[in-house]
């Protein structure tokens, strides 16, 4: 098991626990998808793993080491990269500058160049647009750039928070395709949150349904896609409001 969360309790305020004893695990080279209604705590799970939040109870273990409450930069050093919800590229900087920002902690120039070449190999169009302002890229291209930037530190695991948010179906498809290809080509482990449950589960090995800060259901992705409860709540057009009442 590469990542294991056990009975994690965490939140933003001392008086309110968002995660209420959540347990989940991710195996090496797996793609695991978290689905659930707005406010269920999906982003909070990723923030707790990446060290932005410290659990008050329970543990986060990565590759056999307890990283609960470890600072975000050190979690990154352990090999866990977090691509947050929304846009996180630097719009005024060029595509290349954005990629280099991903490796600003690496002082070995030759190493940075080798990683840049590896990222260019995965995303050949980056090279052609290296000088283009990131803010002028399309939403889908910016998301791929954020993923590329995270890859500059050669993480073993990637936490992706709603990578298809705000993208049209075609661009979402490209992003999902890229995540799937990345795992197949590099063996990277992915824990992804997706509102677009059908597409997210479509490229995943397993999934968890999160509700009220706990895992309610854990199944293979294909079982979740076939589960009538999941279909009714998460595979329709949009988000089902009844669950939030």
The answer to whether 199 and 173 have CB atoms below 8 angstroms apart is yes
Q: Is 135 in the site for ligand ATP (CB under 6 A)?
A: no
- Close Cβ partners of 242 (under 8 Å, ≥ 6 residues apart): none
How would DSSP label each residue in 48-82? Answer: HHTTSS--SEEEEEETTEE-TT--HHHHHHHTEEE
| Structural tokens at position 90 | 């630097």
Using CB under 6 A, which of 1, 39, 74, 244 touches ligand ATP? 39
Q: Is 41 in the site for ligand ATP (CB under 6 A)?
A: yes
Q: Is 125 in the site for ligand ATP (CB under 6 A)?
A: no
- Close Cβ partners of 83 (under 8 Å, ≥ 6 residues apart): 143, 146, 147, 150, 158, 159, 160, 161, 163
> 44 contacts which partner out of Mg ion, ligand ATP, none, CB within 5 to 8 A by kind?
ligand ATP
- Close Cβ partners of 123 (under 8 Å, ≥ 6 residues apart): 144, 148, 178
Q: Is 44 in the site for Mg ion (CB under 5 A)?
A: no
Q: Is 98 in the site for ligand ATP (CB under 6 A)?
A: no
| Structural tokens at position 229 | 């409860």
Q: Which residues pair with 158 in a beta bridge?
A: 81, 190
18 vs 103, beta carbon nearer ligand ATP: 18
Q: Is 43 in the site for Mg ion (CB under 5 A)?
A: yes
Q: Is 12 in the site for ligand ATP (CB under 6 A)?
A: yes
**Four-point Cα dihedral 170, 153, 182, 24, nearest 10:** -90
Residue nearest to Mg ion (CB): 43
Work out how close the CB of 18 gets to ligand ATP at its nearest, in angstroms, rounded to a whole number.
4
Q: CA-based angle 243:40:189, to the nearest 5?
A: 125
Q: Is 98 in the site for Mg ion (CB under 5 A)?
A: no
Give kind and range of the element (H or E) at residue 172: helix 169-186
By CB under 6 A, the count of residues binding ligand ATP is 11
Q: Is 115 in the site for ligand ATP (CB under 6 A)?
A: no
Q: Is 43 in the site for ligand ATP (CB under 6 A)?
A: yes
Q: Is 44 in the site for ligand ATP (CB under 6 A)?
A: yes
Work out how close the CB of 166 gets to ligand ATP at its nearest, in angstroms, rounded to a whole number.
12
10 vs 103, beta carbon nearer ligand ATP: 10
Q: Is 31 in the site for ligand ATP (CB under 6 A)?
A: no
Residues of this chain that interact with ligand ATP (CB under 6 A) are 12, 18, 36, 38-44, 85
Residues of this chain that interact with Mg ion (CB under 5 A) are 42-43, 85
């Amino acid at each position: 098991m590469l990542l294991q969360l056990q009975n994690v309790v965490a939140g933003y305020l001392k008086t309110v626990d968002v995660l209420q004893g959540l347990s989940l695990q991710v195996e090496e080279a797996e793609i695991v998808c978290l689905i659930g209604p707005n406010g269920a705590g999906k982003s909070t799970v990723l923030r707790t793993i990446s060290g932005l939040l410290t659990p008050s109870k329970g543990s986060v273990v990565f590759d056999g080491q307890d990283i609960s409450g470890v600072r975000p930069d050190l979690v990154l050093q352990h090999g866990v990269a977090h691509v947050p919800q929304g846009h996180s590229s630097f719009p005024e900087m060029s595509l290349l500058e954005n990629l280099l920002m991903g490796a600003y902690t690496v002082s070995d120039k030759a190493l940075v160049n080798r990683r840049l070449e590896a990222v260019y190999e995965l995303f050949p169009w980056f090279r052609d647009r290296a000088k283009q302002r990131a803010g002028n890229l399309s939403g889908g291209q910016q998301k791929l750039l954020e993923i590329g930037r995270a890859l500059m530190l050669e993480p073993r695991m990637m936490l992706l928070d709603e990578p298809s948010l705000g993208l049209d179906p075609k661009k979402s498809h490209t992003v999902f395709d890229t995540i799937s290809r990345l795992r197949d080509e590099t063996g990277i482990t992915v824990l992804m949150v997706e509102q677009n449950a059908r597409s997210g589960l479509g490229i995943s090995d397993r999934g968890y349904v999160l509700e009220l800060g706990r895992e309610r259901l854990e199944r293979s992705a294909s079982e979740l896609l076939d589960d009538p409860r999941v279909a009714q709540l998460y595979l329709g057009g949009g988000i089902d409001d009844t669950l939030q009442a």
